[in-house]
Structure 1
Amino acid sequence: MPSNEQRRAAAKRKLERQLARRAEQEKKRKRLTIAGSVLGVVVVAAAAAGVYFLTKGGDEDSTAAESSSTVPTTQFVNTPLDLPGPPPPAAKPATVDCSYPADTEPAAKPVTPPATTTVATDGPEVKVSIDSTQGPIGLSLNSAQAPCTVNSLVSLAEQGYFDQTSCHRIVASPGFGILQCGDPTATSGGGPGYSFDNEYPTDLFAPDDPALSQPVNYQRGVIAMANAGTSPEGKGTNGSQFFLVFGDTELAPNYTIFGTIDEAGLATLDKVAGAGVKNGAKDGPPAMPISFNTVTVG
């Protein structure tokens, strides 16, 4: 017969084993809980990251100068023209009518407004050659995507509007690279004496679509119109100013994309961008001045 002392010792050992098992089980439970929580956080973070990169917006890196035609200087990096939601642009009819209402300000150079009816959308891309003081810049303009914009730019080029004009603004920083041109006064305030509405990609969205305030990707090598601000303020304020994108840049889809720049043109832009902004600023006149000697269609 075990003595009372032996029974007490055995009971104590049994209790100690039970307490040890419970402690180990509690440790395992806590480890599983923590692992589950971490996994949940990772899953939530991954989902949030996916939504963020599809629809992210951001603050401007610097304040753009107030003018009749500006592009905000935001800081984003992403992939090209990844529109967050809208379908691809629907095919336009073979011809469209455009509207170019007169501005209150006169044209910076004498010019006649372009034709407004039966503007073709189904022809080949329009080739434009720019002879600049820093090298050649070749453009391909997309009439199917932005017929009224291309119609205006071709008309202005054929009238010599862009000849002997300077590119007055450059932004050359990580995630944002544009050279802004098309103002004969080189003040950011000059225009052709008329204005017109945005086209692609703005026309893919309803006017009240929240996506109009979200950034889309303006890839290195595209050409887009500058205007007086974001929708609805900038909707009908396109004129003659445009920006040549030499670095992937994200902007709200309120700036009409109407063509692309060739490799020789990008090399010219890279040279100008490499010199930076005058006086070391983030946004302003290029430190290496660049002017258009001639702009020729065809």
Structure 2
Amino acid sequence: MSLTSGNRFGGRRSGRTAATVVAAAAACSGLTWTAVALTSSSTVAKPPVTCAYTPTKGGSRTVGVPSFEAAAAGRPLTFRLATGEGTVTVKALTEEAPCTTNSFSYLAGKKYFDGSKCHRLTTTGIFVLECGDPAGVGNSDPGYSYPDENLAGAVYPAGTVAVSKAQPGRNGGQFFISYGDPAFPLKPDWTPFGKVVEGLDVVKRIAAKGTANGAPDGAPKEPVVLTSVRVQSQ
């Protein structure tokens, strides 16, 4: 299962002080410095984004391995998830999670999600609907995996869309949508890659029907099918 039973999902110095230290060191060494502003406005070039997608032997539906163009990283994207209850619109966090959003876009373009069932609903402690496994059981991947990203300070309030794992450390196509704030803090273990901007009420309606066996965690009572998942560039 991708959500584990334990947590339910699988001294700073001022800029002025730093400047003083640097200046003192320069004076002691006999070097002459040109004035440099050590402020937050200084820009530091970010390293180019690289994404590692590793082929796996698992997967009920494999679609190859995505490529990644660094020049396209950060471009605004919207994901539209159509279900029988309505459409959920997600703003992709392309800058914060470029490798994940690239993977999701690739899978959507391959129609990997189309016709798949959301396999898990949790209604106590955490409030999530989990989807993304064409087999509908929550233990397969699309034939590749990739590392976590965007975990620093990650939280999972209502509207968060994040990667869930078929196995620890193995991100693939599965994901969850938080339809309510968790009742307790969660470890930052799952890559957030989107925010619901429209249609959270759709997920709440699904959740209100409960699970198939009446337990707080299980398959949705009524089948939830992703009829289509599409990507829109802005």
SS in 2 for 1:226: strand
The match for 1:168 among 80, 94, 119 is 119
Q: Give me the TM-score of the superposition, normalised by structure 2.
A: 0.77
Match of 2:164 in 1: 226
Q: How does 1:148-167 map to 2 (within 5 A)?
A: 148-167=99-118
For the 8 Å contact 1:178–1:244, the answer to whether it is kept is yes
Shift of 1:227: 1.4
The alignment-based identity, stated in percent, is 32
Distance 1:159 1:258 in 2: 19
- Structure 1 pair 284–143 and aligned structure 2 pair: CA distance change class (3 A): same
- RMSD, matched Cα: 2.5
- List gaps (5 residues or longer) in structure 1: 1-66, 77-89, 206-215
1:260 aligns with 2:191: no
| Larger gyration radius, structure 1 or structure 2 | 1
Q: Secondary structure at the match of 2:123?
A: strand
Higher relative contact order (CA 8 A, sep 6+): 2
Tell me by how many angstroms 1:131 deviates.
1.4
Q: Which amino acid aligns with 2:52?
A: S
8 A contact 1:181–1:242 mirrored in 2: yes
Counterpart Cα distance in 2 of 1:170 and 1:222? 15
Matched, 1:286 2:220: yes
Correspondence for 1:97: 50
Q: Could you tell me which residue of structure 2 aligns to residue 187 of structure 1?
A: 137
TM-score (structure 1 length as normaliser)? 0.61
Q: CA deviation at 1:72?
A: 2.7
Amino acid in the other structure paired with 1:284: G
* CA separation of 1:75 and 1:239: change in aligned 2, threshold 3 A: closer
The answer as to whether partners of 1:223 and 1:260 remain within 8 angstroms in 2 is yes
The one of 221, 246, 251 equivalent to 2:186 is: 251
Report SS of the residue matched to 1:191.
Answer: coil
Q: What is the CA-CA distance between 1:190 and the residue it aligns to?
A: 1.8
Question: Aligned equivalents of 2:54 and 2:71: distance in 1?
Answer: 16
Inter-CA distance 73–244: structure 2 relative to 1 (3 Å threshold): farther
| 1:153-194, Cα deviation, whole Å (9 max, x unpaired) | 000001100000000000012x41000000000011121011
| SS at structure 1 position matched to 2:75 | coil
Name the structure where helix makes up a greater proportion of residues.
Answer: 1
Q: Pick one of 84, 92, 96 that aligns with 1:145.
A: 96
Stretches of structure 2 that go unaligned for 5 or more consecutive residues are 9-42
**Higher strand residue share:** 2
SS at match of 2:95: coil
Residue matched to 1:17? none
Q: Which amino acid aligns with 2:85?
A: Q
> What is the alpha-carbon distance in structure 1 between the residues aligned to residue 80 and residue 180 of structure 2?
21
The residue that corresponds to 2:231 in the other structure is 297
1:117 deviates by 4.7
Out of 152, 163, 173, which is 1:240 matched to? 173
Query: Residue 200 in 1 paired to residue 150 in 2?
Result: yes
